Amino acid sequence: MRLLGKAGFCLSLFGAVAGLPAAAEAFCGFYVSKADSSLFNQASKVIIARAENRTVLTMANDYQGELTEFAIVVPVPEVLRENQIHVAETRIVDHMDAYTAPRLVEYYDSDPCQPVMREMMAMSAMDSARSSGAGEAEKKSAATLGVTIEATYTVGEYDIVLLSAKESDGLLTFLNQEGYKLPSGAERILGSYIKQNMKFFLAKVNLEEQRNTGYTYLRPLQIAFESPKFMLPIRLGTLNANGPQDLLLYTLTQNGRVEAANYRTVKIPSDMNLPTYVKNGGEFGEFYKAMFDTVVKKENMKAVFLEYAWNMGWCDPCAADPIPNNDLLTLGAWWINTPPVTSNWQNRGIVAPQAAPQVYVTRMHVRYDADHFPEDLVLKETGDQENFQGRYVLQHPWTGSVNCPQGQEYLRSLPARFEEEAKTMAMLTGWNINDIRKKMQYNWPDPIPGPGPRPLPVEPQPWWDDIWKKQ
């Protein structure tokens, strides 16, 4: 798991931090690259597996900083027992991120003089004493503030405390006394959770246990509970955030795609043809970041963006190996019981539809702050099983000899096609189209005079474009 620069808080979507100073054809193409969560700073990753009223929440973050400063507060619907709390392997979350990431694919034009053939190709640490149970003095102090320490556990490298409270001011005072320096505005939000009879899940790092794990990073925390509410609390995390944050939310459900119930869910632009130089270096990552910035701005940062929605049984193309059933079970897909999924991802091809567990995965990307997302994310499972993925296409031109009338027509059509690719990229990213054109260095034979459509002329750019940067 990649770590960020020292953040004012961590697991930003969940909560405040303790003790912190601030936390082409319908077929696929060859898979080329992906735009995973490493592109975005301050990105938290959450996986929610949900069926019936059962929810398993897996929370990962890219926190970087002193472990003594790590802490989270998560509202939960009930006092959790120790066996409702688990520490997962980071690789599973990273695998989910990679598997669902927006992807770049490429095709190659066939010989225009031969019959057309299309090939189907196949993401201050809690004291150790606390781990053995809250002290009587601490419990009495909490009680005077209307706060009850319901339970304490040590799970993996984390010390966990479950609280209930009668009043937000008492809870806020208790948390401050315990080193949780919640920012201004927290009392109002805590009060709203108390009115909903929610409890509070607190986690800090147990340094000794963390050393024993041998890991140099914090592994994802998991909690399991039953609740009729399908939601993700994000408001506490906005209070001390240093600007907008990115949340990658993955859901595992039985029947279909998940979407936000209280915010607009918008599909990310997809299936666009781009200039082939996007394959080089970090060009695809830069493209995707710019495109995402553009769509967020277009939606006034008030939308949830759908990046992937697909049955887990197959993928086309695969950005990573399908996730094994054992890992899906670990993530909370308790309803599956079929044989493990296999794949031929190593060959970068299609994984054909196969008998697989009924797991539908949805990936949503949210950029949020307190002004634009004043409510927690309320989610709903739909019956929609239409496949969707953020997919971007590179169509390489034929570079062989062309000795037929059809081939000459093909050559004449290329300039217009390249221009459309440049316009598409400029439209999606807001980049200057002349800069894009400069990077597009295609060399192809000049067509010989003859019948066929004439190439569309490339209009000269008027002088005023350079003055006002118009395209």
Helices (DSSP H) in 122-179: which residue ranges? Answer: 128-131, 136-144, 168-177
Give the whole-angstrom CA distance, residue 222 versus residue 119: 43
In the predicted structure, residue 445 carries a pLDDT above the cut 80: no
Strands (E), 227-359: 231-232, 245-253, 258-260, 264-267, 272-274, 303-311
More confident residue, 178 or 123: 178
In the predicted structure, residue 225 carries a pLDDT above the cut 90: yes
Give the whole-angstrom CA distance, residue 61 versus residue 162: 21
- Over residues 239-281, the pLDDT tens digits come to 767 788 899 999 999 999 999 999 999 999 999 999 999 999 8
**Residue 315 carries which DSSP code?**
B
In the predicted structure, residue 354 carries a pLDDT above the cut 90: no
Give the whole-angstrom CA distance, residue 155 versus residue 167: 28
Q: Is 394 helix (H, G, I), strand (E, B) or coil?
A: strand
In this prediction, residue 339 carries a pLDDT of: 52
Torsion of CA 361, 367, 370, 371, to 10 degrees: -120
More confident residue, 349 or 52: 52
Instruction: Characterize the bridge pairing of strands 54-60 and 43-51.
Output: antiparallel
In this prediction, residue 238 carries a pLDDT of: 78
In the predicted structure, residue 284 carries a pLDDT above the cut 90: yes
In this prediction, residue 436 carries a pLDDT of: 93
The arithmetic mean of pLDDT across residues 104-124, rounded, is 67
The arithmetic mean of pLDDT across residues 41-50, rounded, is 84
Burial-class residue 326 by CB neighbours within 10 Å (0-12, 13-18, 19+): exposed
In the predicted structure, residue 466 carries a pLDDT above the cut 70: no
In the predicted structure, residue 133 carries a pLDDT above the cut 70: no
The arithmetic mean of pLDDT across residues 431-457, rounded, is 72
In this prediction, residue 179 carries a pLDDT of: 76
- Over residues 371-421, the pLDDT tens digits come to 999 999 999 999 999 999 999 999 999 888 888 888 888 888 998 999 999
- Residue 451: pLDDT band with limits 50, 70, 90: low
In this prediction, residue 286 carries a pLDDT of: 95
In this prediction, residue 36 carries a pLDDT of: 63
In the predicted structure, residue 172 carries a pLDDT above the cut 50: yes
In this prediction, residue 325 carries a pLDDT of: 87
In this prediction, residue 118 carries a pLDDT of: 42
Give the whole-angstrom CA distance, residue 373 versus residue 321: 34
In the predicted structure, residue 28 carries a pLDDT above the cut 80: no
In this prediction, residue 120 carries a pLDDT of: 42
Give the whole-angstrom CA distance, residue 267 versus residue 303: 10
More confident residue, 278 or 133: 278
In this prediction, residue 145 carries a pLDDT of: 86
In the predicted structure, residue 72 carries a pLDDT above the cut 70: yes
In this prediction, residue 264 carries a pLDDT of: 97
Cα three-residue angle 247-193-230, rounded to 5 degrees? 50
Entry pTM: 0.79
With a pLDDT cut of 90, the percent of the chain lying above it is: 46
In the predicted structure, residue 2 carries a pLDDT above the cut 60: no
- Residue 121: pLDDT band with limits 50, 70, 90: very low
